[in-house]
Amino acid sequence: MALTQAEIDAEIKDHQDAYDKAVAGGAPVRHHPARDYPPYRSSRLRHPKLPLVAVSGGDPETVELSGPVFGVTDITEIDNDLTLQHRGEPIGERITVSGRLLDRAGRPVRGQLIEIWQANAAGRYAHLREQHPAPLDPNFTGVGRTLTDDQGRYAFTTVKPGPYPWGNHTNAWRPAHIHFSVFGTAFTQRLVTQMYFPGDPLFPHDPILRSVTDEAARARLVAAYDHDLSRPEFSLGYAWDIVLDGPSATWIEEGR
Amino acid sequence: MSTTERPLPTPAHTIGPFYGHALPFPGGGEIAPPGHPDTITLHGHVLDGAGAPVPDALLDFWQAAPDGSLSGAPGSLRRDPSTGGFLGRNGVDFTGFGRVATDADGRYALRTLPPGNAGVPYIAVCVFARGLTHHLFTRAYLADGTDPLLDALPDERRATLIASAGAPRTYRFDIRLQGEGETVFLEFP
Ligand SMILES: [Fe+2]
């Protein structure tokens, strides 16, 4: 039996209160979501119950302290412009999303692969198994790739995705978001996440966003509208920096 | 570059159900050059806490080259600049990176060359799935032996990290996300 949004909201509040109370009592801040987060129903059978095992740092032979590399052969010229990938222009509010990719010491991560995917302006993925009865856009696939530049910068041109319904509970809707898959210099830094748009009224009700129980951490998933990045007669600009967690070989070599 | 400014990390999120047209790529599970005589196959199921197959997991793999090099090489997603399609790896460089989505039966298979890392050879695995709010790291060891991680684990947990040799040059490595026989998952503080 599907739960109502009010019941999910109550569960979200319980988890939020428990986290806030724990932090007030001295527990560490959690930057990442708990893997066991019951309001997100699909998590129930898909999270380990035993604690993670720490791999002691400092051994430069540790395979995960290095990682895959990508280059100009792995992308094409228009991969970072999702509005150019078909004969016609996609429907929607044209936007640019740009920012920097940094490691946890604040240094730019250069030449690494960022992949994105998103719904179209109507909230529909160009994915054959998706059944949401919103229109497909023949001029929008919603997939992009780019390599960060020498300052760790990236930029995508796309259209703003729409919110969409999902089956977590009755009348469940995801806030508009763009999925990001990011590589650092080490496999330990691997990140898959979602970027949101400021001021979305669905934020309080979304179990996926709320699985990040730290309010400041949640805020780091929301891009900022930046008028200086908007281009006259063309697009609205959003700024979003990405900070990778996890150690890397270079990070350890330089003494943290 | 100053290291005094320490930004806080961007939180992870689930990969969700709709990455299928974005992340998997043709030849993602074929790290070994086609027809290479040293090719090994790593395969298995991804299973949930009820023992049911997970048909929408995505696995990223990273490993040392056969000579032990950890420098990798570009070209895993080599593209055709005119059509935008995928050309496959060039068959010469060993990229060390693979990516496979599980099939409807929760299975994956990776064809690669034996990793030449120091100590017991292993392939690093990163697991993503709908319902998994934050990815999981594990390792598929291709043999048992003296290893700082394995030696710190009780026997039954140690066994979850060691792929079982089947047919020649074939290793089975199941990933159990939860419950009996739960795979050892790793963190890198
Ligand atoms: Fe989504």
Q: Encode chain B in three state secondary structure.
A: CCCCCCCCCCCCCCCCCCCCCCCCCCCCCECCCCCCCCCEEEEEEEECCCCCECCCEEEEEECCCCCCCCCCCCCCCCECCCCCCECCCCCCCCCCEEEEECCCCCEEEEEECCCCCCCCCEEEEEEEECCCCCCEEEEEECCCCCCHHHHCCCHHHHHHHECEECCCCEEECCEECCCCCCCCCEECC
User: Which CATH number fits the domain that encloses residue B170?
Assistant: 2.60.130.10
Q: Quick check: is B144 in a domain?
A: yes
Expressed in angstroms, the distance from the first to the final Cα of chain A is: 50
Give the pairing type, strands B186-187 and A53-54.
parallel
Interface membership of B74 toward A (CB under 8 Å): yes
Catalytic-residue membership of A86: no
Q: How far is it, in rounded angstroms, from Cα B33 to Cα B21? A: 25
In angstroms, the separation between the Cα of residue A236 and the nearest Cα of chain B is 23
Report yes or no on A250 lying in a domain: no
The enclosing domain of A171 has a CATH number of 2.60.130.10
At A244, the pLDDT band (50, 70, 90 cuts) reads very high
Domain count for chain A: 1
Angle at A173 between CA A171 and CA A175, to 5 degrees: 160
Cβ contacts of B156 within 8 Å, gap of 6 or more: none
The whole domain housing B112 covers 40-176
CA pair distance A60, A58, nearest whole angstrom: 6
Token look-up 């650092």 returns A184
Q: Decide if A206 is inside a domain.
A: yes
Nearest Cα residue to A178 out of A196, A191, A163:
A196
- Select from B45, B46, B54, B133 the residue whose CB has the most chain A CBs within 10 Å, as the one to mutate to test that interface: B133
Residues A68-111 have pLDDT tens digits of: 999 999 999 999 999 999 999 999 999 999 999 999 999 999 99
Residues in CB range of B17: below 8 A, 6 or more apart:
A129, B56, B130
Q: How confident is the model at residue B2 (pLDDT cuts 50, 70, 90)?
A: very low
CA atoms within 13 A on the CB side of A81: 9
DSSP chain A: -PPPHHHHHHHHHHHHHHHHHHHHTTPPP--S--S--TTSGGGTTSS-SSPPEEPPS--TT-GGGS-----GGGS-TTTTBTTSSSSSPPSS-EEEEEEEEE-TTS-B--S-EEEEEE--TTS--S-TT----S---TT---EEEEE--TTSEEEEEEEPPPPEEESSSTTEEEPPEEEEEE--SSGGG-EEEEEE-TT-TTGGG-HHHHTS--HHHHHTTB-EE-GGG-BTTTBEEEE--EE--S--HHHHHTT-
| Nearest one of A230, A81, A244 to A155, comparing CA atoms | A81
Of B17, B157, B188, Cβ closest to residue A64 = B188
Choosing from A125, A154, A196, A238, the catalytic residue is: A125
* ipTM tops 0.85: yes
Q: Examine residue A131 and state whether it is found in any structural domain, yes or no.
A: yes
Contact A95, A158 (CB under 8 A): yes
Query: For the segment B77-126, what is each residue's pLDDT rounded down to a tens digit?
Result: 999 999 999 999 999 999 999 999 999 999 999 999 999 999 999 999 99
Q: Closest Cα of chain B to A233: distance in Å? A: 29
Q: Are strands B122-129 and B136-141 parallel, antiparallel or unpaired?
A: antiparallel
B100 and B28 Cβ atoms separated by less than 8 Å: yes
A191 min Cα distance to partner chain B (Å): 6
Classify residue A256: in a domain, yes or no.
Answer: no
In a domain, A65, yes or no: no
The size of chain B, in residues, is: 189
Number of folded domains in chain B?
A: 1
Please list, in sequence order, all residues whose beta carbon lies within 8 angstroms of the beta carbon of residue A43, skipping any fewer than 6 positions away.
A35, A36, A37, A211, B14, B131, B132, B133
Whether A225 is in a domain gets the answer yes
Whether A251 shows a pLDDT value over 90: the answer reads no
Of A54, A65, A145, the CB nearest to B189: A54
Q: What is the pLDDT of residues B136-146, one digit of tens each?
A: 999 999 999 99
Check A19, A37, A154, A164 and give the catalytic one. Answer: A164
When pLDDT is cut at 50, 70 and 90, the band that residue B4 belongs to is low
The interface residues of chain B toward chain A in range 2-41, judged by CB-CB distance below 8 A, are 2-23
Q: Which domain holds residue A222?
A: 5-44+72-243
Q: What is the pTM of this model?
A: 0.96
- Number of residues that make up chain A: 256
pLDDT tens per residue, range A138-170:
999 999 999 999 999 999 999 999 999 999 999
Split at pLDDT 50, 70, 90, the class of A256 is: very low
Is residue B128 situated within a structural domain? yes
Strands B170-172 and B40-47: parallel
**Closest B-chain CA to A35:** B133
Is the CB of B119 inside 8 Å of chain A's CB atoms?
A: yes
CA distance A101 to A107: 8
CB contact under 8 A, B118 and A61: yes
Neighbours of A120 (CB within 10 A): 26
Ligand 1 centre and the CA of A119: distance in Å? 7
pLDDT digits (tens, 9 = 90+) for A11-47: 999 999 999 999 999 999 999 999 999 999 999 999 9
Residues of chain A in contact with residue B73, where contact means CB-CB under 8 angstroms, are 69
